[in-house]
Amino acid sequence: MSRGEDRRAARETESDMKKFYYLFGVVVVIGIGVVGFNVGNSVLSSAATAPIELDLTDDEALVALAQGVTLGDDDAPVTVVEFGDYQCPGCGAFALSVKPQLEGTMVASGEVKFVFYDFPLISIHPNAFLAARAARCSDEQDGYWEYHETLFRNQARWATATMPSSAFEDYAEEVGLDGGTFSACLNSDKYADVVSANMELGTRMGVNGTPTVMVNANGNLRRINSNDFQSISSAIAAMTGSEGSN
């Protein structure tokens, strides 16, 4: 391949990524989402603990299936997106330290909404996929964010467990969920498609580690290199033109 062809191919790849980031940004802003299909209609003999193959070559279909979970006002002008892994210590620190600061300030004021996408690093975190499904099951009973934090607070307990399902069921009861309903969801393939789609979405967006945090403001999507509260709030101020304002 000639240098000119190399440059043309690089430009085409960059253009494709810009289109994909734009598509994702639009979906994040307006909150499009569809209920994911289940791979099977019956409860499996054991819980789905690994990603499944999805025929989602079309970017729009992928973005529609890959559902984030939103905290805050859907009409907030700024969106903070996290791709996270429940077995990742850095994600635990973010969930228990940085996210509460965002929630107590900019989310509470209506300026920001926070959206979490699952990105379990299954090669090093074998229990992370099931944990992501467990959190999705808790959302059926409106217990997602409390369960989300409970998983991170107890990460050291279940991260190395051979069979973490019992711990996940215990946490469901701790946060006041109906145990039978939660267990039926967990011990099935439900939400395996959504979590798998989230992983594929992150991969196509260049996510290669967790937590990966992005800010969407004024139609622009920017990846934040430092995941501390100050860096995120500074990026939001710069992107919204509110630096130095009172």
Torsion of CA 100, 104, 110, 112, to 10 degrees: -30
Q: Number of folded domains in the chain?
A: 1
Q: Is residue 49 part of a domain?
A: no
**Cα 45 from Cα 97, distance rounded (Å):** 38
Prediction pTM value? 0.84
Question: Percent of the chain beyond pLDDT 70?
Answer: 80
Answer whether residue 42 is part of any domain: no
Per-residue model confidence as pLDDT tens digits over 110-142: 999 999 999 999 999 999 999 999 999 999 999
Mean pLDDT, range 211-223, rounded to an integer? 93
Q: What integer pLDDT is reported at residue 130 of this predicted model? A: 98
pLDDT at 59: 84
* Residue 44 forms part of a structural domain: no
pLDDT of amino acid 194: 96
Tokens of 9: 């191919």
| Segments forming the whole domain that contains residue 185 | 3-37+68-240
Assigned domain for 246 exists: no
Q: Is residue 55 assigned to a domain?
A: no
What's the CATH code of the domain at 168?
Answer: 3.40.30.10
pLDDT at 44: 36
pLDDT digits (tens, 9 = 90+) for 79-121: 999 999 999 999 999 999 999 999 999 999 999 999 999 999 9
Q: How sure is the predictor about 164, in pLDDT bands with cuts at 50, 70 and 90?
A: very high
Assess if residue 98 is contained within a domain.
yes
Summarised one tens digit per residue, pLDDT across range 177-203 is 999 999 999 999 999 999 999 999 999
- What are the tens digits of pLDDT across the range 47-74? 799 999 898 778 888 888 999 999 999 9
Do the domain assignments include residue 245?
A: no
> Is residue 60 assigned to a domain?
no
DSSP string for 171-206: HHHHTT--HHHHHHHHTS-TTHHHHHHHHHHHHHTT
Decide if 44 contacts 191 (C-beta within 8 A). no
CA distances from 207 to 23, 53, 120, 168, 224 (A): 16, 19, 11, 27, 12
Task: Flag whether pLDDT at 241 surpasses 60.
Answer: yes
